[in-house]
Amino acid sequence: MEKLSVSALSKLLRYALYFVFCLGLFVTPFIHYLLHTFRNTVMNTEGFEEFLKFSMLTRGNITSGEYYSMVAEVYLLGITMLFIVSRLIKICRSTERETPFEKSTYRALKHIAVASFISVVFYIVKFLFFPAAPGLMLAFTFIMTGLISSVFSQLIKKAAEIKEENDYTV
């Protein structure tokens, strides 16, 4: 069996990211409706209140403030994910062109780091008003994403500088 080339894997990843991006564009405008339907159907089922107490560390009944906080959280997460996926598509395109060490890749990774840290600030502020375990887990995930993206962006920046110096010497 043949090994897939880097550009073929990048192309496959890019198509998967296009699918996720299109799905996100379709779902994001309907988040409020989906959460409202979820609130009215699933939350009235037997045993769900106990699940909420366990999973979200809440009293079980979601107040209006908590509900609208959840809506804002899901919108922010959706918009942030769409932005991050669009930057990843850009990185995949540069990998397919076999030019991954350029400043646009560095900027895309930097944008991913900034978007991740903005999400962390939101989750920390939200946690102060509505403490819940999933918010902390997402904040930790975004912290790690931001740190990794920041480190990789510096690595790509340094590699782009070295590549540029080598291009001038030849």
Tens of pLDDT, residues 15-46: 999 999 999 888 888 877 776 776 666 666 66
pLDDT range class, residue 166, cuts 50, 70, 90: confident
> Residue 106 is encoded by which pair of tokens?
């560095």
Instruction: Write the pLDDT tens digit of every residue in 68-90.
Output: 777 777 888 888 989 999 999 99
Average pLDDT for 84-98: 91
pLDDT band of 47, cuts 50, 70, 90: low
pLDDT(107) > 90: yes
pLDDT for residue 169 is more than 90? no
Distance between CA 11 and CA 17 in Å, rounded?
10
User: pTM surpassing 0.75?
Assistant: yes
Q: What is the model's pLDDT at position 48?
A: 57
Distance of CA 53 to the CA centre of its chain: 26
Among 65-69, 81-85, 96-100, the range with the most confident prediction by mean pLDDT is: 81-85
Helices (H), 1-63: 6-27, 31-41, 48-56
Average pLDDT for 101-126: 91
pLDDT of residue 112: 96
